[in-house]
Structure 1
């Protein structure tokens, strides 16, 4: 399995996600090339999907919403995120 979709930068986790909005439920799907596919229920309208995804990631990784930031892909399906000091891992990751 390719791990190009995430990397560690100190205690921060950087993720490359492919996001599918307007899904039936919020879920991590699996590797998608050099990204990880995520489905969310929110529509891609007026930043609602981005905010919903930030909250979803915060809950999934056991951190506050303020510890998750969108670092690339504000208006496209390919996005980059930084998670500061994740406390749990909803998907299989290894930290060197």
Structure 2
């Protein structure tokens, strides 16, 4: 469900399933371009790692989980998500998480 002023932002993600510690941050140059690295505890079985990554991305971008939707890469570590929310805010937060930069 979108609100006035919300935009859809496409986010490239590299998922690391089965990690000892869940973490969102870092950069991976993957097939979709510069991707945000998301490490999750969940195994890469039955979509559990994808769902954990979707929820972790929502939390990191400070949007509701239902605002994050998988668009490509269900069976891959490299995924594309669409995030519905304030575009400028999401872009800034992505740069901070992915590149460690603050404008």
TM-score (norm 1): 0.74
1:92 aligns with 2:96: yes
Query: Which residues in structure 2 correspond to 1:1-96 (within 5 Å)?
Result: 11-33=7-29, 34=33, 35-86=35-86, 89=93, 91-92=95-96
TM-score (norm 2): 0.70
Q: Which has the higher contact order (CA 8 A, sep 6+)?
A: 2
Deviation of 1:91 (Å) = 4.7
Moved over 6 A (4+): none
Between structures 1 and 2, the one with greater helix share: 2
The aligned length equals 85
